[in-house]
Amino acid sequence: MPRAFLLVVIAALAPQVATAHVVRHSSIPEAYRGAWAPVETDCKDDKSVITLSAKAYIGPAGSCMVDYVSGPSGAIYSARLQCPGSGVQAQKKTIVNLIFRSADAGQILVGPTFESLAAHRRCSASAPPAKQN
C-alpha cells in the first residue's frame, strides 16, 4: 500500500518537474534586441532586416506586438506575437510564433519553426533600422 501511494505521488509531480525549467517572460531578452539581417544580405536591405525590441517585432512578417516569450534563461526562446490581419481581416489579429537562439558571436538563429531557423547578424548602430509597415 505505501509503495502504491508513493508511485501515485511521483506520477502526479513528475510532469510539473519536467516543465519547471521553462519560464514565461513579458518581453524579448535584452541580448536579442536590435536590428538583425540575414548573414548573406546587407543591413540596408529593409525587406530582410528584422528589428526586435522589448515588446515588438518589425520585419518581413509585418509589425507585431510581443504577447509573451517562453524559454529558459539562456538557450532557446519562443516569442508569441500578435500581428494585425491584412485586407478584410485587418481588425482580426493573427498569432505568429518566432523562435530565436544565440549562434556565433554577434549572430542569432531566427525563424517560425526549428526547420526554418536562419542565421542573422547584428546590424551596427549606425545602420538604419528596418522601416515599419
- Render pLDDT for 4-38 as a digit per residue (tens, 0 to 9): 655 555 666 555 555 557 788 889 999 899 999 99
Mean pLDDT of 36-48: 86
The CB density around residue 71, as the number of other CB atoms within 10 Å, is: 19
CA dist 40 and 11 (Å) reads: 49
3-class DSSP assignment, residue 97: strand
Give pTM, 2 decimals.
0.72
- Sequence-distant (6+) residues with CB within 8 A of 129 are 35, 49, 51, 58, 123
Instruction: Supply angle C-alpha 28, 63, 69, rounded to 5.
Output: 25
Q: Quote the pLDDT of residue 58.
A: 93
Mean pLDDT of 87-98: 78
What confidence tier does 94 reach under pLDDT thresholds 50, 70, 90?
A: confident
Q: Quote the pLDDT of residue 15.
A: 57
Dump pLDDT digits (tens) for 100-131.
998 887 899 999 999 999 999 999 765 444 44
More confident residue, 126 or 49: 49
More confident residue, 58 or 11: 58
More confident residue, 44 or 108: 108
Q: Quote the pLDDT of residue 14.
A: 59
CA dist 60 and 50 (Å) reads: 7
